[in-house]
Amino acid sequence: MYEVEVKVKVSHEPVRSRLAESDATHTDTVEQTDTYYDAPHREFETTDEALRIRTERTPDAETATLLTYKGPRIDDASKTRTEIETGVTSRTRLNEILENLGFSPAATVEKTRERYAIGDYTVTLDAVTGLGAFVEVETEVEAPDPERADAIETAREGAFSILRDLGLDPDDQIRTAYLGLLLNN
């Protein structure tokens, strides 16, 4: 599975107004804590990969924990990359497993996310601690087969179109992950 994502740094208020005028549906608002790990056997910054544990809290205090691997970006026009994610019952136990295998926490990213659905896309308004306000537009695409080689490009163009509909310019996108932005801040 590929995650096709574009992200821009922008104030949320004009975007919320455009979302209210569109066919977007607010799906939820959550708080996320993402802890990223360094690997003992390779340098993720060099290989453009990421491994994280995410804890997501809803306003009614429900929590979910996910382990996510993100592969290297596959194009220069977006943040498209392989993403493999699975649920975990204990963040603490998973952290213990990773640390016993030599993985070490590198940094933590905290954010509040407002998510909206527009067709097969998710529009997310992120307030990231220490970085500010961002808007992401993303969708998932199955690994392209020879008969659908244009699937990623089509998904990316759809994300660009949604950005434009929200009054944003795809040329303003930021391809650096929040982790990279925080570490370089």
Residues known to be catalytic: 36
User: What tokens appear for 47 in the block?
Assistant: 């290989």
Say how far apart CA 112 and CA 124 lie, in whole Å: 10
- Please give the backbone phi and psi of residue 114, each rounded to the nearest 5 degrees, phi first: -105, 120
Tokens 């104030």, located at residue: 11
Say how far apart CA 94 and CA 97 lie, in whole Å: 5
Angle (CA) 159-18-139 rounded to 5° is: 20
Angle (CA) 161-80-185 rounded to 5° is: 95
Of 75, 67, 40, 28, residue with least CA distance to 51 = 67
Cα 166 to Cα 4, 24, 40, 181, distances in angstroms? 18, 11, 42, 24
E strand or H helix that includes residue 161: helix 151-165
